[in-house]
Amino acid sequence: MKYTNFPVLIPSLLVSSIFLAYSCEHDQGDGITNVPVNPSQGNEVTTGSACSPDTTYFVQQVLPVFQSSCAMSGCHDAATHKEGIVLDSYSRIIATGGINVSNPTKSKIYRAMANGGEESMPPFPATPMNSSQLAIISKWIGQGAKNNSCIESGCDTSNVKYSTHIKPLIQNACQGCHNAANAGGGIDLSAYSGVKAIADNGKFFGSVSHLSGYSAMPKNGNKLTDCQINMVKIWINKGALQN
């Protein structure tokens, strides 16, 4: 089976202090919470066999989005917990996120991400969630909001491209803290030029590979899979093209 490209990404390098000034107040929704699991069991990950394109996986697809764009200082990390919401782990997302599996778009966290107004999450002027990210969250909730993971059964690196492999990775896990409004560590990855710069100077591969002398990424999450790291390497070695 070929490797299925998931929109997984690298949580950010550093969160700049500008985020402390942002508002993190969201629509409280209709108050319906339909939690399918006991939050105290949240650390028990259900690992299937091979990754399926028909299933959304919390570990590979959902958690990186929350860690990059929501669970940051000044908003929804364990220390700040704005409005009592903490989005840095499965058990806390289930316990505080107002999950509604019978109507995913009515979930408190989904409504906050999708409303697009002044109370959107992540807060303005941070980059808002895109349609692909919203689809991932909605599908995961609709499938039962499970603490699930999967195992890669193959790795197709025959046609690695920026548009289909690298850009989605950057969007989902990096841009939450590395955008024009909030360039953590002085790095803006909202455009190809910024990604190209860290690809050329070695920071991209060095960080995701956890090489000595580089800040290991994801900073507060799981290391990228060997397949994903290999894709980054192949793309860089071919010139880091905007293809």
What's the token pair of residue 17? 């202090």
Residue 40 has pLDDT above 50, yes or no: no
From 17-26, 175-184, 234-243, the region with the lowest mean pLDDT: 17-26
pLDDT at 110: 93
From 12-16, 72-76, 97-101, the region with the lowest mean pLDDT: 12-16
107 and 220 share a domain? no
Burial class (CB in 10 A: 0-12, 13-18, 19+), 131: exposed
More confident residue, 160 or 24: 160
Residue 56 has pLDDT above 90, yes or no: yes
Q: Which structural domain range is residue 170 located in?
A: 162-237
- Which of 117, 151, 185 terminates a domain? The answer is 151
Residues 6+ apart with CB under 8 A from 201: none
Q: Could you give the number of structural domains in the chain?
A: 2
39 and 76 share a domain? yes
Separate counts of helices (H) and strands (E) for the chain: 8, 2
Element (H, E) at 136: helix 131-142
Residue 190 has pLDDT above 90, yes or no: no
Residue 21 has pLDDT above 60, yes or no: no
Reported confidence tier of residue 224, pLDDT bands at 50, 70, 90: confident
130 and 172 share a domain? no
C-alpha to C-alpha distance for 190 and 130, rounded to whole angstroms: 12
Reported confidence tier of residue 46, pLDDT bands at 50, 70, 90: low
Tell me what percent of the residues of the chain surpass a pLDDT of 70. Answer: 72
Burial class (CB in 10 A: 0-12, 13-18, 19+), 239: exposed
Q: What mean pLDDT do residues 5-29 have?
A: 42
C-alpha to C-alpha distance for 185 and 123, rounded to whole angstroms: 19
Please, are residues 9 and 173 in contact by the beta-carbon 8 Å criterion?
yes
Q: What are the tens digits of pLDDT across the range 128-170?
A: 888 888 999 999 999 999 999 988 777 888 899 999 999 888 8
39 and 93 share a domain? yes
pLDDT at 107: 95
pLDDT at 86: 87
- Which of 99, 118, 151 terminates a domain? The answer is 151
Beta bridge partners of 151: 50
Q: What mean pLDDT do residues 122-127 have?
A: 73
- Which of 121, 151, 181 terminates a domain? The answer is 151
H-state helical runs in 174-240? 192-200, 203-208, 226-237
